[in-house]
């Protein structure tokens, strides 16, 4: 499994293991929260029950989602994830925890302080 930064998103990708003769029904994708202990899912952007995600074996999550609750990952931290494959028989063992991407973003544009009374201009 691999996490990579792509623009404003983090992409989590993995290699499908053998399905044991029964097609995968879904993947459970877990992302480590800022406490370093608990993991949560993002079912909006990374719902492993989606046929597209099952086929692609990857999902993309906006960095802003990872900055928010429940993940609360700060700028500069590594993103750790793990995946479970599910077929009709049940859940696979959990993958090893992997990382590779960091929450890094470009800074926001400077504000226009031409009308700010605290800023004076030289004449």
**Residue 97: predicted pLDDT:** 86
**Residue 108: predicted pLDDT:** 55
Question: Residues 37, 54: contact at Cβ < 8 Å?
Answer: no
**Residue 30: predicted pLDDT:** 94
Which segments in the chain show pLDDT lower than 50? Answer: none
Q: Output the CA torsion sign for 16, 100, 42, 91.
A: positive
CATH of 2-102 among 3.40.50.261, 3.30.230.70, 2.60.40.10, 3.40.50.1240: 2.60.40.10
Q: Which of 10, 7, 6, 1 is nearest to 78 (CA)?
A: 10
Q: What is the CA radius of gyration of the chain?
A: 19
Residue with tokens 């370093």: 36
Structure tokens at 32: 């480590």
Q: State how far the Cα of 102 lies from the Cα of 81, in Å rounded to an integer.
A: 12
């Amino acid at each position: 499994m691999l996490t990579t930064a792509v623009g404003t998103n983090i992409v989590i990708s993995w290699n499908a293991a053998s399905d044991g003769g029964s097609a995968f029904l879904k993947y459970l994708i877990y992302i480590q929260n800022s406490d370093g202990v608990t993991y949560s899912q993002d079912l909006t952007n990374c719902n492993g029950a989606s046929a597209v995600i099952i086929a692609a074996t990857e999902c993309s999550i906006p960095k802003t989602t990872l900055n928010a609750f429940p993940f609360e990952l700060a700028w500069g931290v590594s993103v750790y994830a793990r995946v479970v494959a599910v077929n009709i028989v049940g859940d696979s063992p959990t993958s090893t925890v992997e990382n590779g991407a960091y929450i890094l973003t470009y800074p926001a544009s400077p504000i226009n302080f031409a009308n700010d009374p605290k800023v004076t201009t030289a004449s």
